Amino acid sequence: MQEERMAVLKMVDEGKITVDEATKLLEGLRVTGDGRQFEEKFKEFAGDMREFCKDAVCKINEATKKAEPKVKEFAKNVVSKTAEVADNISQSLNEKIKSMDEEPCCDENNPCTCDEEKPADNGPRPEKEEKKSK
């Protein structure tokens, strides 16, 4: 401790720090109120913090272990519901496609073209638009 004080006084003598700065440094070096030095108190504080952190990690691990089954169940439900929705959409689309295939492509106003190659679907069929407008 004496060496640190001498170093502070030397810095003042060399003009590296002011007297006010030296006073603050010397106050920081002096013994604390209960007779222990700052370094000892800091070590005690560091030990307390180490114990606090260990305790916090244990509690976090416990909470994680408790939450894990609930999170897994939630994820399982999300996957199940998503699959259910996808199945419903697929079924609905298949029914719509099937009903479109079953609709007659010809009637008394449209000659039959069933034997011809079907063009790519580029939107609503003209005969349906005509039926809607009637």
The string of DSSP codes covering 15-72 is: TSS-HHHHHHHHHHHSPPTTS--HHHHHHHHHHHHHHHHHHHHHHHHHHHHHHHHHHH
Asked if pLDDT for residue 134 goes beyond 50, the answer is no
| pLDDT value at residue 88 | 95
Work out the pLDDT band at 118, boundaries 50, 70, 90: low
Work out the pLDDT band at 128, boundaries 50, 70, 90: very low
| pLDDT value at residue 53 | 94
What pTM did the predictor assign?
0.38
Contact 127, 109 (CB under 8 A): yes
Average model confidence (pLDDT) for the chain?
Answer: 80
Asked if pLDDT for residue 124 goes beyond 70, the answer is no
In this predicted model, what pLDDT tens digit does every residue of 29-88 receive, in sequence order? 765 455 567 677 788 889 999 999 999 999 999 999 999 999 999 999 999 999 999 999
